[in-house]
Amino acid sequence: MIITLILLPVAVALVCLLLNRYTKLVETASVVGAGLLLLLGSILVLHVFEEGIIDEGMWYLDQLGAFMLLIIVLIGFLAILYSVPYMRHEHENGEVSSNMLGLYYTFLFLFIFTMVLVVVSNNLGIVWIAVEGTTLVSAFLVGFYNKGTSLEAAWKYLIICSIGISLALLGTIFVYASSIDVLGENSDLHWTSLMAVAGQLDPAFLKIGFVLVLIGYGTKVGLAPMHTWLPDAHSQAPSPVSALLSGVLLNCAMYAVLRYHILMTHSSIGGAFSSGLLLLFGLLSLGIAAAFIITQKDYKRLLAYSSIEHMGIIAIGFGFGGFWGIFGALLHMFNHSMTKALLFFGAGNVLQKYKTKSIDGVRGLSRTMPYTSVLLLMGALAITGSPPFSVFTSEIMVLTGGIDQGNILPSLLYAGMIVIIFAAFMGHVVRMIFGDPPEGMEKGEVNKAGLIPMVALVVIILVMGIFIPDGLSDALRDIVALFGGQV
Amino acid sequence: MLLAMIQTLLLLALAPLFTGLIRKFKAFFQGRQGPSVLQPYRDLTKLFHKDSVISKDASWLFTATPYICMTAVITAALMIPFFTTSSINFIGDIIVVVYLFGMMRFFMALAGLDAGSAFGGMGSSREMTISAMVEPTILLSIFTMALISGTTRLGEISFNLATTGLDLVPPALFLALAAFFISTLAENARVPVDNPATHLELTMIHEAMILEHSGKQLALMEWSSMTKLLLYLVIMANTFLPWGIATEVTPMALIIGIFAVILKITLFSLAIAIIESSMAKMRLFRLPNLLTVSFSLSLLAVMSFYIL
Amino acid sequence: MDSNNLFYILLALAFFGAPLAAMLNNKPKISAAVAFGASAMASLVGLIIGADVLLNGPMRLDFPFSSPFGTFAFAVDGLSALFIIIISLVTFAVSIYSLGYVRHYYGKYPVGLMGSLFNIFYVSMIMVVSSSNAIMFLIMWETMSLSSYFLVIFESREKGTVGSGLFYLIMTHIGTAAITIGFILMYSESGSFEFSSFHGAALGMSDLLRSSVFALWLVGFGTKAGIIPFHTWLPMAHPAAPSNISSLMSAVMVKMAIYMLIRCYFGFLGVQDAWWGVVVLAVACISALLGVMYALIESDIKRMLAFSTVENIGIILMALGVAMIFQSYGLKELAALALIAALMHVLSHALFKSLLFMGAGSVLYAAHTRNMEKLGGLAKRMPYTSLMFFIGVLSIAAIPPLTGFVSEWLIFQSMLQSFNIPDAIVKILIPVALGTLAITGALAAAAFLKAYGITFLARPRSEGAERAEEVPGTMLVGMGILSALCILAGVLSFMILPVMDEVTSPLIGVSIGEHLISGFLIVPTVGEFSQMSPLLIGVLLASVFVGVLALTHLYGGRRKVVRAGTWDCGTPLTSRTEYSGRGFSNPINRMFSWVYHPLRVFRSTSHISPYVKSDMRYTSTIEPVFERYFYEPTEAGVRWLARKVSVIQTGSIQTYLGYIFVVLILLLIVLR
Amino acid sequence: MLNSLSLDAINTLAAIILLTDFMLVASSRMRSLTRIFAIQSLALGALAAVVAFETGAEHIYIVAVLSIVLKAVIIPRFIDYATTKIQVKREVEPLVKIPGSLLICAAITLLAYFVTEPLMQQGTAITSNCLAISFASVLIGMFLMVSRRKAITEIIGLLVVENGVFFAAISTTYSMPMIVELGVFFDVLVGVIIMGLFAFRINRTFDSIDTSILRGLKD
């Protein structure tokens, strides 16, 4: 079952590669493939949520993995749905050749493949390989437009993430080393086997291993100060890819960190060590993101920094711990993905209309693109934590976690930063939406079909803002239990 | 009820007399003979028999104001004990009285603006400015009296105080009296705040407001202002120094009451006249100093009551 | 029909009205009728719900699903019901008014959108007061803020609107953050987000924690209410918003904060420390005094009304503060009196402020300007509007026996009872507050005298004012309803106050209804301390007025009344010779220059000789103290810091790698 | 548990690796960089072989062979090819002068000993030197990346880091499970190729692979 899920995107990628010339066919294949992936993924997710963990030795899908998978397939599907009209428009404008279009979908599916691999692998080594794989594949997508800035972004992305990931490998080795004494030389680096003996793992190796893993995967997550590649890559990639990077990839990397974090909480070191580090990096990310959001001049970079902010929030949530902290952070992963995807889609529409990424260059959206502007405004309010959108719920939960666990000062910092970011972010977005459009800018949407996935996302974040389906809620509780938090 | 009406009528009737009396006292201090004490009555009578001119720019408010002013004053008078402590003060206490005076001032000032002349506007503006500064003093003085007598109903204040010996009265009362006296001067357009006798454009306040009124309207305005002055004096006499007022309805008490109150008011009039003859009108922008003094006095009154 | 069903009807009306109106956006007339019709009907239903709850006891309506934060439900108790009634009353009148008012938006702005948001706004306010759960409350609270934000920026093409809206949005968000932290602190004590679990939870809290919650709520709700120094959004957002919206916002929305303050302080925290009350009282005094002072010198009617809202919130909070002080000393009866006074002023302010904003809207509608200096003479051109505005002015100036007077009188009375307080220091503070209230009242009278006098009386000062015509009937009806209520709520306050008592008694723990009203009289305290009857005063005033009128006509005979020009000293009177609003407030401006920091510039040019001026210009501006010394430096500071931090993104990959390197080495050393 | 000859061999090879690290830092020519890297990889491969011999774990032989083939032969060749193809100037152009760099690397080595010291108490690793040197390799590799300008030097720095990690794997755990090890090799290879491709594209677009000109994106 899981193997089908893994191979499906590879197969679609191959199809796209082979049908390279026939744009229409590639698009159809992509949409159908993404649909199938969504279907298959949902079935698996539902299965895990309802029946429990799937353990196939090499492949392992527990609630945490399934939750990630849900995000991957959902955003993956919507991103592809959005890609079709978006990339077609790029194609028509001569930005992309039809050959490249085929490659685009190929890489997109390979990208999804690597991410799926991250969450379904039991072996922490394979997780590492898959995360490294995401970098290699998505670097192509980041450098997709053969322009100087794209290449620069891709290069930075590649180098910084590679170095980070190397550290993660070193960390993985140390964790592995910590298990040698217990499991002997046949230790297989499976997460489940490690968990089984978590209490006996060598603390010295585990500790340094976790630090390395955190810095390593943290680079990929976009935790400050290892975040530096992120704004470049997110702003240079095609918008649907930005949505995937921001909404899914970062979560996948966070997922990798979490696996180690869980291990730490069950080890003899206890959770305080890893929680403290997560909290530290989370707060740092939040603060640095706030600074850049305030001074930002490029709206795609704005969204990228907002991703850093939200990864910070997620890290803070896990750092706070307790039921609310973890529950909130998990929920926040989902909410952030959905909302950020919405925003990147919106930004894509704006970019295609205004042909500039500069915030100052975009004025009067409400008059030129009424639908996009409404959706964008809702997205902006949502991402900055306004109810009734879902991000609010998870942010409140994280805050509750902090205060409930007695982390008063970090909680206050957290709340303060969020408010500052709200002000700065809304300031930018409001300036874009209102005012007089630049001269000669005609009224009308450029990417009408692209509005459909956006509306779907708005519906999701609205519904999730008011209530969380019981199935999901129960699954999240199971995950919280995994962390050792009381339910 | 009946007594209240009698008192009110008496107050209305006596108001011009005391205005005339103050003028007479002033004339005496200035070494003039001055007009008769009855002159205000003659003025009012004359005005009541005149046609009136109303500005084209003015609205209904301008015409209605004199009647409203008179109404406010009469209603207030009904609640104020004059020579006996019984009035219809069950429907409103001293705060209501202060607000009724506020209402009168409010309409007067509006009418001042209504004609669209710069004088009216100036008068209104200054009147409202001064009243804003006087208001806290008045209410704090009242507060003190309420504390001393345990009620804010005018009749009961008089009654409670009058039935107490002078020696039991705290010093707070005299501080409050001083504050209230200054406020009375300010509220009734007397020197040093305003000069009732002037029509010099740049200095007048009260007169500027009613400049456009004429005939019957002017008569009502003047009369209500006179009554207001008298009412302030009565309040001063009966709230701060109520001894002598009739606390029961017996002919003897009533007669003593009448004489006592008239004596007290005459003395106050004399004081006003002395002040007006010996002081110059202050510049408008120096007024805050004076009014701050009175406010401090009233605040001190409350504090001394609480602390001593 | 019981209130549960009515609640469904209310929700249904608004939730069908909102999207329907938005869908009909292209047909403004129908759309407006649908939207405001729906909101008017919904508010009528709201009135019935409120009345039903007051008569028959609380209702509760559970949500069909559960949330991780516990159960969500609409729970309406007495206090909620009172506020539902206030919200609904105002909304009803504003809905009718809006039918006419939105006409001038036809073709310019999406009326359907406004109608839609209007409904959401109304429902969100209803939900705010009927939330049973802190998180649900926050969601509703923010929905209210957001919908009002969108309404504020409705005229998005006008200059400054979007900026004002943004400022409002940010301020309200900051407030919400403070509120949220307060709730979470409560949660950490009570273990549940249910409001019902908060009751008494504070008993187990440490002093520091409890006071933190108190302070957080004061800041949070105070921001929404507009206490100084968090008031700055009010004079920005209210003028920017369409008048019907500012009417609702100022009259009702800011009261949601008062509602919550009452509920939180008396219900959840249970006032225990006297200094809380003192803090509230101090904040209230500052707000009231500064609010009215800024209102007085303002020339923009709507800005002036906004500042006046700050003032009135201050007055309400004064009463609240006094109530808290009494409550903390266990003087429950007096606390009840002060709280009733506060609630009465909430009602009064809701009535007259919405009336005044609607009046300002009518002026704007007819004369196309909000600047008093360009108005004048409207009393003749718009007689009904001017009359109704005048009633509002009289109410807010606390002229007896109107509603504003009754509430202020009650507040005075409760302050007069301060001699019962055992603590000498606190005892002395209250007379100071009383003095503040007195000067506030007098200045408010001056401010509104100016607003009415300059706007409606004398001669028009611009062509717009010259050509102004009476506004459409629906607008007049909307205003008329509230004018009537302004009078009735004052005169018939003896019927309203028992309701307030019923509402406050569960919070305070004692009912003073028995002695508060006797016949037509209001008797604040047991015994002879004082009493008053607005109804009798009204009757007395009316009969004396008739008497005076009659006697004046009789005495001296019938005399001619001549209409003639105002005395002009020989110079023709024009609009430029009239006393201006700025001139009116100038004495105060000068006397309180330490508050206003006025900047006066007088410039003149002369060609022939220094005595013959060809051009003279006088500008007088006041320094926006809070903006200049609080908000601007804060913003600049944050920006400065952000710029400093931004340096780290150098663009050089080596630097970036360096960060990782350094972090790695640091962590390795520290955590070895 | 190891016999002393093997221990000596391992220590010697470890020392060679450390030495090559320093040489990398000290060299100023591109061509010598790749040579030194090849030597280092060779030494690493040999070390792996010794360990394999000692432990008798056959899969470590595979790893050793792969390491030699891939890192000592293919990748250096590829980099040399790339360097000639895009005509990089020969000089390394360090941001930090070479004497300074060497001092820093000495400090880094000390740090590595300091950091790995607590790990040694467990006695899982072969020698204390190995772990410390592997750690030093990782850090020196990173330092190379931080302090050198060219895209190609960055790739080499990254490879040094990888070598360090690989060394750590061998010295602490006698390498990882086979599948993981293979995957890692595959990733390294693909990574280098992709980076090479990007280096080509960057060269084509900017006419230079000096990464200090890649500063268009910043805030």
CB < 8 Å from C in window 356-375 of A: 366
Confidence of residue D67 (pLDDT cuts 50, 70, 90): confident
Query: CA D180 to CA D59: how far, in whole Å?
Result: 12
Residue C202, pLDDT > 70, answer yes
Query: CA D76 to CA D67: how far, in whole Å?
Result: 12
Query: Is the residue at A465 inside a domain?
Result: yes
Which residues in chain C have Cβ-Cβ distances shorter than 8 Å to D149?
A: 654
pLDDT of residue A487: 42
ipTM given for this complex: 0.90
pLDDT of residue D2: 58
How far off is chain C from D49, nearest CA to CA, in Å?
31
Q: Summarize the confidence of residues C403-411 as an average pLDDT.
A: 93
* Nearest beta carbon to residue D176 from set A147, A158, A189: A189
Query: Is the residue at A331 inside a domain?
Result: yes
Q: Residue A368 belongs to what domain range? A: 270-487
Q: If DSSP codes are grouped into helix, strand and coil, which group holds residue C200?
A: coil
Query: In C555-671, which residue ranges form alpha helices assigned H by DSSP?
Result: 581-591, 593-596, 625-626, 632-646, 653-671
* Nearest beta carbon to residue C431 from set B110, B118, B299: B299
| Strands C561-564 vs B52-55: parallel, antiparallel or unpaired | parallel
Q: If DSSP codes are grouped into helix, strand and coil, which group holds residue C621?
A: strand
Query: CA A353 to CA A358: how far, in whole Å?
Result: 13
Residue D168 to residue A155, Cβ atoms within 8 A: no
Query: Is the residue at A50 inside a domain?
Result: no
Give yes or no for A465 touching C (CB within 8 A).
Answer: yes
User: Please, which residues bridge with residue C603 across strands?
Assistant: C617
Provide the CA D194 distance to its chain's centre, in angstroms: 18
Residue D55, pLDDT > 80, answer no
Q: Summarize the confidence of residues C361-383 as an average pLDDT.
A: 91
Q: Cα angle at B33 between B31 and B34, to 5 degrees?
A: 110
Residue C1, pLDDT > 60, answer no
Residue C241, pLDDT > 70, answer yes
pLDDT of residue C613: 75
Q: Summarize the confidence of residues A216-227 as an average pLDDT.
A: 92
Highest mean pLDDT, choosing among B3-12, C315-324, C503-512: C315-324
Cβ atoms within 10 Å, residue D120: 16
Q: Cα angle at C600 between C594 and C602, to 5 degrees?
A: 160
Which of C659, C667, C649 shows the shortest CA–CA distance to A280? C667
Query: Is the residue at A213 inside a domain?
Result: no
Q: Summarize the confidence of residues A355-365 as an average pLDDT.
A: 90
Confidence of residue B181 (pLDDT cuts 50, 70, 90): very high
Q: Summarize the confidence of residues C531-551 as an average pLDDT.
A: 92
Cβ atoms within 10 Å, residue C425: 10
Residue D105, pLDDT > 80, answer yes
- Best mutation target among B8, B87, B113, B138 (most C Cβ atoms within 10 Å) is B113
Question: Which tokens hold the place of D96?
Answer: 């930090």
Highest mean pLDDT, choosing among B116-125, C359-368, C607-616, D155-164: C359-368
User: Per this entry, what is the length of chain C?
Assistant: 672
Q: Summarize the confidence of residues C277-306 as an average pLDDT.
A: 93
The domain limits of chain B are 2-307
Cβ neighbours for B283, distance < 8 A, ≥ 6 positions apart: none
Reported pTM: 0.92
- Best mutation target among D126, D128, D156, D165 (most A Cβ atoms within 10 Å) is D165
**What type of residue is B277?**
S
Eight-state DSSP code of residue B236: I
Question: Which tokens hold the place of B14?
Answer: 């006596």
One DSSP character per residue, C267-281 reads III----HHHHHHHH
Query: Is the residue at D219 inside a domain?
Result: no
CB < 8 Å from C in window 5-34 of D: none
* Nearest beta carbon to residue C649 from set A228, A386, A411: A228
Using H for helix, E for strand and C for coil, what is the string for C384-415?
Answer: HHHHHHHHHHHHHCCCCCCHHHHHHHHHHHHH
Query: In A93-147, which residue ranges form alpha helices assigned H by DSSP?
Result: 98-120, 124-142
How far off is chain D from C637, nearest CA to CA, in Å?
19
Q: What is the mean pLDDT of chain B?
A: 88
Confidence of residue B223 (pLDDT cuts 50, 70, 90): very high
User: Per this entry, what is the length of chain D?
Assistant: 219
Confidence of residue A446 (pLDDT cuts 50, 70, 90): confident
Confidence of residue D89 (pLDDT cuts 50, 70, 90): low
Question: Which tokens hold the place of C541?
Answer: 């005033």
Determine the number of helices (DSSP H) and then strands (DSSP E) in chain B: 11, 1
Q: Report chain A's terminal Cα–Cα distance, integer Å.
A: 31
From residue C207, alpha-carbon distances to A457, C199, C523, D181 in Å are 45, 17, 37, 60
Q: Summarize the confidence of residues A225-254 as an average pLDDT.
A: 92
One DSSP character per residue, A235-303 reads HHS-HHHHHHIIIIIHHHHHHHHHHHHHHHHHSTT-HHHHHHHHHHHHHHHHHHHHHHHHH--BHHHHH
Residue D123, pLDDT > 70, answer no
Which of A29, A1, A250, A295 shows the shortest CA–CA distance to A135? A250
Q: Summarize the confidence of residues A75-98 as an average pLDDT.
A: 90
Neighbours of chain D (3+ CB pairs under 8 A): A, C
Residue C436, pLDDT > 50, answer yes
Which residues in chain C have Cβ-Cβ distances shorter than 8 Å to A212?
A: 664
Give yes or no for D111 touching C (CB within 8 A).
Answer: yes
Phi-psi region of C116 (alpha: psi -120 to 50; beta: other; left: phi over 0): alpha
Per-residue pLDDT of C488-535, as tens digits, reads: 999 999 999 999 999 999 888 888 888 888 888 888 887 778 888 999
- Lowest mean pLDDT: which of A200-214, C55-69, C293-307? C55-69
Q: Summarize the confidence of residues C582-598 as an average pLDDT.
A: 86
Residue C578 to residue B116, Cβ atoms within 8 A: yes
Residue A128 to residue D172, Cβ atoms within 8 A: no
Query: Is the residue at A407 inside a domain?
Result: yes
Long-range Cβ pairs for the range A95-104 (8 Å, 24+): A95/A145, A96/A144, A96/A145, A98/A20, A98/A21, A98/A23, A99/A20, A99/A21, A100/A144, A101/A23, A101/A26, A102/A16, A102/A17, A102/A19, A102/A20, A102/A21, A102/A23, A102/A26, A103/A17, A103/A20, A103/A140, A104/A141, A104/A144, A104/A238
CB C632 within 8 A of CB C229: no
Per-residue pLDDT of B237-253, as tens digits, reads: 988 888 888 888 888 88
Burial of A338 (0-12, 13-18, 19+ CB in 10 A): buried
pLDDT of residue D87: 67
Q: Domain count for chain A, please give it.
A: 1
Helix (H) or strand (E) holding C60: strand C59-67
Which residues in chain A have Cβ-Cβ distances shorter than 8 Å to C67?
A: 466-468
Confidence of residue A96 (pLDDT cuts 50, 70, 90): confident
| pLDDT cut 90: percent of chain C above it | 58
Cβ neighbours for B251, distance < 8 A, ≥ 6 positions apart: none
Q: What is the mean pLDDT of chain C?
A: 90
Q: Residue D107 belongs to what domain range? A: 4-213
Residue D204, pLDDT > 90, answer no
Query: Is the residue at D218 inside a domain?
Result: no
How far off is chain D from C646, nearest CA to CA, in Å?
6
Residue B88, pLDDT > 90, answer no
CB D208 within 8 A of CB D89: no
pLDDT of residue D61: 85
Helix, strand, coil content of chain A in percent (nearest 5): 80, 0, 20
Q: Domain count for chain D, please give it.
A: 1
Which residues in chain A have Cβ-Cβ distances shorter than 8 Å to C655?
A: 228
Q: Summarize the confidence of residues A348-375 as an average pLDDT.
A: 90
Going through C70-123 in order, the beta strands assigned E by DSSP cover 70-76
From residue C612, alpha-carbon distances to C569, C608, C617 in Å are 21, 6, 14
Rg (CA), chain D: 18
How far off is chain D from A174, nearest CA to CA, in Å?
8
Residue C436 to residue B136, Cβ atoms within 8 A: yes
Q: Summarize the confidence of residues C610-624 as an average pLDDT.
A: 79
Residue A189, pLDDT > 90, answer no
* Nearest beta carbon to residue C445 from set B61, B106, B139: B106
Cis, peptide link before residue C633, omega less than 30° from 0: no
